[in-house]
Amino acid sequence: MKEAIFVYSQDQLSYKFNDDHPFNHLRLNLTYDLLQDLHALQESQIVAPRIASDNEIALIHDKQFIEAVKAAGKGRLSPGIAANYGLGTEDTPMFANMHEAAALLVGGTLTAVDQVMEKKAQHAINLGGGLHHGFRGRASGFCIYNDSSIAIEYMRKKYDARVLYIDTDAHHGDGVQWAFYDDPNVCTLSIHETGRYLFPGTGHVNEKGSGKGFGFSINIPVDAFTEDESFLEVYKTSVREVIEFFKPDVLLTQNGVDSHYYDPLTHLSATIDIYKEIPKLAHELAHEYCDGRWIAVGGGGYDMWRVVPRAWAMIWLEMINKRELVTGDLPLSWVDYWQKEAPVQLPTTWSDPDNLYPPIPRKQEITEKNYKTLEKALFHIRNEMKMK
């Protein structure tokens, strides 16, 4: 069995709305190149994504919605009907062959799932996936098909696995949460900037699941301007307690990297340091609880030059136990090559500069508030664990 595999092909870049859109999968190339230049990605570790079948997509999405996406990709969907499906908006504009592009991203995550569940690899990563805002019958927030929801339902049906989904994107993982809101065999944990101001507005601490699924949706909305220490305190405490409580068979992590201070769409103040720690704990716990089964997908990340390549490379380097590579300078070849394309100054080191941003007013209150939120989010788990 391989230690880890990396799902990737150039074709994943076909998921492209337009040149001005903040969601740009050129991020995948930037990350891939960085790993190549580090000699940390072998040919034998790369697996091409497959295309998800309509039936697989229909594990989560309505047939009519899939048909609408197909028609939209062929220019045959009227704007009025498109709007009902969340298509043709500023967020998810229609583009040629959008069904094929979206089905490939779903297929990539399913490829990763099969590799892990069929014991071909311990861990697998598909950075092209992580489109957590997609709903049953509606595209939303740059996401057409929800690859993570589909992958989870696929694991439920095909492998009868209990799945823990951990989402550290700065936006609430709403699509995945609602898809499994009443399912006690799927636990979703989302740590995100509070929805008070940020899209999608949901992910309150009191959204805990319904019916038999009560207690298996966990949300920790952190305050705007949250910094590293507070974020990691929330992350480390909650992930450890949730996995101990839920005892999953497999871990699926969504690795949006838009909590960084540089990210233009959110208001958190994390540095690159948290992206070293996030996969580290996931890796550790996958071995401790899930016999190593860990699937990682990408997600948000809208500073694709300065933040995403480093942050995503860190996940892979963690998977293959090469974390010692994440120090000092970035490969000069990578910086030189991409600097020509970038509209901003690329970083030259793995870490961020000191004084990345001016001191945050009310830091102490924000930290305290986040701690209280964490306590509220874990209250029911702690209670139940006490009774055992």
Partner 1 sequence: MIIEEIMHTDVVTLTEDATIKTAIKMLEENRIRHIPVIDENNHLIGIVTDRDIRDAKPSIFHSDEHKEDLLKPISTIMERDVFTAHPLDFVEEVSAIFYEHNIGCLPIVEDDKLIGIITETDIFHTLVKLMGAHQPSSHIEVQVENITGKLSEIAAIFKKRKVNITSVLVYPCKDIQYKTLVFRVQTMDPRAIIADIEKEGYKVLWPNMPGVIE
Which chain residues interact with partner 1 by CB under 8 A? 22, 89-91, 133, 140-142, 171, 174, 195-202, 224-225, 264-265, 267, 358, 360-361
Q: Which is nearer to partner 1, 268 or 330 (CB)?
A: 268
Minimal distance, residue 314 CB to partner 1, in Å: 25
Assign 163 to helix, strand or coil: strand
Minimal distance, residue 78 CB to partner 1, in Å: 15
Minimal distance, residue 361 CB to partner 1, in Å: 6
Minimal distance, residue 380 CB to partner 1, in Å: 20
184 burial type by CB count under 10 A (0-12 exposed, 13-18 middle, 19+ buried): middle
CB 124 within 8 A of CB 112: yes
Q: Which residues contact 166 (CB under 8 A, 6 or more apart)?
A: 189, 239, 242, 251, 252, 253, 254, 282
Omega within 30 of 0 (cis) for the link into 200: yes
Q: Which is nearer to partner 1, 93 or 215 (CB)?
A: 93
Distances (CA, A) of 103 to 13, 24, 131, 142: 12, 17, 12, 14
Minimal distance, residue 30 CB to partner 1, in Å: 20
Give the dihedral sign, CA 66/72/78/82. Answer: positive
Q: Which is nearer to partner 1, 153 or 207 (CB)?
A: 207
Q: Which is nearer to partner 1, 23 or 154 (CB)?
A: 23
Q: Which is nearer to partner 1, 40 or 265 (CB)?
A: 265
d(CA 38, CA 32): 10
Minimal distance, residue 18 CB to partner 1, in Å: 12
The amino acid occupying position 188 is T
Residue 312 has phi, psi (to 5 degrees) of: -75, -35
CB atoms within 10 A of CB 291: 12
Q: Which is nearer to partner 1, 217 or 238 (CB)?
A: 217
